[in-house]
Amino acid sequence: MDVIELKSLFEVAEERGIDRLTVFESLHFNGRQIYVHFIKDQMGVIEAPSRTDEGDDTPTFQIRAGMIKPLAPNSRVELADALGNKLEKKELKIRLSLDDSDSKYLGNLYIKAIVDLKSELMIDYRDFQFLPSKQKSEHLPIPGKRKPHTAFAVYAKTVEEIIKPGDAWRLLGQYADQSRGSNQVSLPGWGLIYLKRDRENKDKLRYKTIIFEGPLDGDTFTKGAFCRAWEKI
């Protein structure tokens, strides 16, 4: 791993006056890494590659105090839930490049370990640019939301105090018109995103984290899904 300057995720959240889950989701949305800096020795459990012939014993890995490893991509949902529920510790997976070990397998090794969230979660100092500033709190990501339309619904209803979901949907459509799939826009409640209208269905919008490459590109949500999210707020 390249030498990087790390800082506690919890400390960064406190200094900026923003929610810890918001810090995580801002970095995750922009494809940035979360790191685990272990402060104590512990024995981790290896998720062994398939088709091994090592027997039935559970493979383990000795984690040493001071070890720094990136969080495994498939542990990010678990981390988001743990932060949202304000847990102190959580079993998560870290990613270890097999170039760093004596394993005969290629690729990455994934190790389950107990992580003290407050003291061991770290972010790269260079990634601070992706975090919202305290002065722009109206555009902070809504914690716990996994899709842009659900986050925008919360923002529109609770911050802008829009009464009718149809009015909020039209406002959301205006962001799609501004973006048109090629211009990045800052969607309140969510963050930076590319949006555009679906060609076939006027009540469907498409979204991506990068520029659209074709008419059927990206993920979608409908006006019906937006209105259902609105009713749950």
Whether the pLDDT of residue 124 is over 80: the answer is yes
Higher pLDDT pick, 31 / 212:
212
Q: Which residue has the tokens 């932060």?
A: 83
With a CB cutoff of 8 Å and minimum separation 6, the contacts of 26 are 130, 131, 132, 141, 191
> CA 8, CA 10: separation in Å to the nearest integer?
5
Residues 48 and 76 in one domain: yes
pLDDT in tens, 137-159: 455 677 778 899 999 999 889 88
Span 69-79, average pLDDT: 90
> For residue 197, is it within any domain?
yes
With a CB cutoff of 8 Å and minimum separation 6, the contacts of 61 are 43, 44, 45, 46, 96, 109, 111
Structurally, the chain folds into a number of domains equal to 2
| Of 173, 167, 179, 165, residue with least CA distance to 225 | 165
Give pLDDT, residue 101.
53
The average confidence (pLDDT) of the chain is 85
> For residue 1, is it within any domain?
no
Banded model confidence at residue 51, pLDDT cuts 50, 70, 90: very low
Output 173-181 pairs: Cβ under 8 A, ≥24 positions apart: 173/197, 173/205, 176/205, 181/206, 181/208, 181/211, 181/212, 181/217, 181/218
Whether the pLDDT of residue 175 is over 80: the answer is yes
Span 82-109, average pLDDT: 78
Chain-centroid distance, C-alpha 142: 12
Span 81-93, average pLDDT: 90
Give pLDDT, residue 16.
75
Whether the pLDDT of residue 103 is over 80: the answer is no
Give pLDDT, residue 48.
64
Give pLDDT, residue 141.
73
SS3 74: helix
Give pLDDT, residue 100.
56
User: Domain limits at 84?
Assistant: 6-126
- The last residue of one of the domains, among 92, 126, 160, is 126
> For residue 136, is it within any domain?
no
Q: Are 14 and 8 in contact (CB under 8 A)?
A: no
Span 151-171, average pLDDT: 91
pTM of the model: 0.54
Distances (CA, A) of 229 to 51, 66, 159, 169: 43, 43, 16, 11
Residues 88 and 148 in one domain: no
- The last residue of one of the domains, among 126, 150, 165, is 126
pLDDT in tens, 60-72: 999 999 999 999 9
Output 15-21 pairs: Cβ under 8 A, ≥24 positions apart: 16/131, 16/132, 16/133, 16/134, 17/134, 17/137, 18/131, 18/132, 18/134, 18/137, 18/140, 19/140, 19/143, 20/83, 21/80, 21/83, 21/84, 21/143, 21/144
Residues of the chain with pLDDT > 90, as a percent, come to 50
Residues 94 and 153 in one domain: no
> For residue 137, is it within any domain?
no
pLDDT in tens, 26-42: 888 788 899 999 999 99
> For residue 210, is it within any domain?
yes
